[in-house]
Amino acid sequence: MPRSIPHLLPVLALILPIACAAVPGGRGVDTGPYRDEDALEAALRSLAGESGGTASLASIGVSRAGRPIHLLRLASQGPNPPDERPGILVVAGLEGTHLLGTEVEVEAARALLAARGKDSAVDRLLAETVLYLVPRASPDAAIARFAKPIVERRGNLRPVDDDRDGRADEDGPDDLDGDGAIVKMRFEDPEGTMVADETDSRILRPADPLKGERGRWKLEPEGTDEDGDGKTNEDPPGDARPDRNFPQGHPEHESDAGAHAASEPESRALLEFCLSHRNVAAVLVYGRHDNLVQTPGDADAQAGEVRGLTTKIPKGDLPILKEVGERYREVTGSKAKGEKADEGGAFAAWAAFQFGVPTLAATLWKPDLENLPPASAPASAPATAPASAPASEPSGKDEALEEDRKRLRWNDAVLGGSGFVEWHEVAHPEHGRVEVGGWRPFVLSNPPPAEIRAIAEKEARFLAALAGFLPRVKVSEARVEARGGDVFSIEAAVENAGRFPTATEMGRRTGKVRPVRVRLEIPEGAAILAGEKQVLVPFLTGGGGRREMRWIVRAPAGSSGSLEVSTDRGGRDAREIRFEERTPR
């Protein structure tokens, strides 16, 4: 597989500007040309309808609220049926706050379809591989972006009694200032634990009593105490998060992880799809997790065998992630670091540790905090801005606090200040007066519109590169030699031409990947005198892993049979076997 797709970038440059309909975000900032459910379905139907049969649209299930979970399959005509080829499953939108992955999947598919017949690498990709794209795995979570007021929702619409008062979803956020977006509110309170940061008073940080600081302010989501329990917005609508609902390390005692593992229809749909598609040879997840920019190291690996559930990557699988991570960074240049992909309950963790395939995760984008102008004087504060006690030493040593400061500098320099709502006074029914402000929804997890095109271009190139890593079995040799009379010997070899093994160490450990199957079919009236009709090879290593075998067969001269090799995740190949009286030169 070539290391670049030369025609892909200009094709994308022409397509992307007209592909997305912009949906405006909160006041003063557009969080991107992101599609609501109707626009997403229309885009997918258009891709399938105009693809000439290369793309097909289906559904793997429905959300808790009955919305379809779309599946776009990309595969052109080739030597094997699409579902018998090595497959890449790409999943986005598991959490409602990460809308970018959905757009990247749709536009990457558009680019690959447009490049057919113009780029040989793309033609091979579509003929030899199948791409399964799930652009929005949790549609109920994403709808909060397109409703009013806009609010970040990570989970689906399963009723959850977060405050354990016998009622569910009765105390959600409220748009106190009527600006169409739910942000934060802060107010003075004798029980407050927060103080203003001395570098940027827009930030509240925990008071440090060891430095003589006394808390003065409380920071809560924008809203009121609708159930009268003294807490604000502690029981919002829904919020069982499908990406915390998978069986691997499921955090069963946390309310947002669902009632039990696989309790949510969104997570069950993905589980059922994977278990019914043994040909999925790699999984790529777009969202909050990352193991491509920050590839796992030796400390994340398990050196030896373990019994029962493991949360450590087998040491033998570590080179796979390192190599693919290097390729990803080379192709995309991404520096977007996310959370570890082995988090309990996450789809990426289940796919790696239980489904047993190379599982990759990418966050796709983070604000660029490395190339910022020098810090300016502290931002001017509202008339009621909280004062902080002097710190005995710079609080900038706190990495999280320093990152908050950098984000605000990024907001001021790149977004012109539009991503952060300046604190302003608003009347409140319980507290009298509060200040409303903070980050607008979706700004920190989704890029400005101008950045989406470049991200989609690079991810499309990476998908084509990733296809070159998948296992691909073939019959590399099949020699037939007459031994006299109607007796023939067959000497054959099968190989793995891909870079991934036919089964990772984790896949072999879980038993989810069946052995490589080599089957000799002989004509009617023939008999196998030595050797087995079917040979099972536990696995073939990547990069030319090879297995040789031999048979003695009695067969009518001039007849023919076949030798076939097949795998769950490495495709299949076959070669005709002809029983000639003389060995061909």
CATH number of 43's domain: 3.40.630.10
- Rounded CA-CA distance 61/71 in Å is 9
Domain identity same for 452 and 569: no
Domain identity same for 426 and 330: no
What the block records as the tokens of 348 is 């990426």
Digit-coded pLDDT (tens) for 220-248: 999 998 877 777 777 677 778 999 999 99
How confident is the model at residue 163, as a pLDDT?
64
Beta partners for residue 315, in sequence order? none
Residue 81 CB partners (closer than 8 Å, separation 6+): none
Domains held by the chain: number: 3
Domain identity same for 390 and 324: no
How confident is the model at residue 298, as a pLDDT?
73
Domain identity same for 418 and 500: no
CB 184 within 8 A of CB 166: no
Q: Give the residue carrying structure tokens 């409703």.
A: 147
Beta partners for residue 302, in sequence order? 314
For the chain (585 residues), the mean pLDDT of every run of 10, in chain order, is: 41 36 35 80 95 97 95 94 96 94 94 90 91 97 89 84 70 87 94 93 93 93 84 76 94 89 96 97 97 87 54 87 96 93 92 94 94 64 45 56 94 94 95 95 90 88 94 96 93 96 92 92 96 96 96 95 96 95 56
Q: Give domain status of residue 160, yes or no.
A: no
Domain enclosing residue 99, as ranges: 8-145+238-367+446-467
Digit-coded pLDDT (tens) for 366-387: 999 988 877 665 444 444 444 4
Give the closest residue to 406 by CA, choosing from 382, 371, 438, 439. 371
Digit-coded pLDDT (tens) for 425-438: 999 999 999 999 99
Number of H helices, E strands in the chain: 11, 22
Give the closest residue to 296 by CA, choosing from 279, 278, 316. 316
CB 180 within 8 A of CB 174: no
How confident is the model at residue 331, as a pLDDT?
95
Q: Count the Cβ atoms, other than its own, within 10 Å of residue 359.
A: 29
Q: Give domain status of residue 570, yes or no.
A: yes
3-class SS at 171?
strand
How confident is the model at residue 121, as a pLDDT?
83
- Rounded CA-CA distance 349/247 in Å is 9
How confident is the model at residue 460, as a pLDDT?
92
DSSP 226-253: TTSSS-SS-B-S----GGG-SSTT--TT
Question: What DSSP designation does 400 have?
Answer: H
How confident is the model at residue 172, as a pLDDT?
76
- Host H or E run for residue 113: helix 100-114
Q: Give domain status of residue 433, yes or no.
A: yes
Domain identity same for 391 and 498: no
Q: b or e along 537-568 (b: 16 or more beta carbons within 10 Å of the residue's beta carbon)?
A: bebbebeebebebebebbbeeebebbbbbbbb
Domain identity same for 552 and 404: no
Beta partners for residue 314, in sequence order? 302
Q: Residue 486's Cα: distance from chain center in Å?
A: 57
Is 0.85 topped by the overall pTM? yes
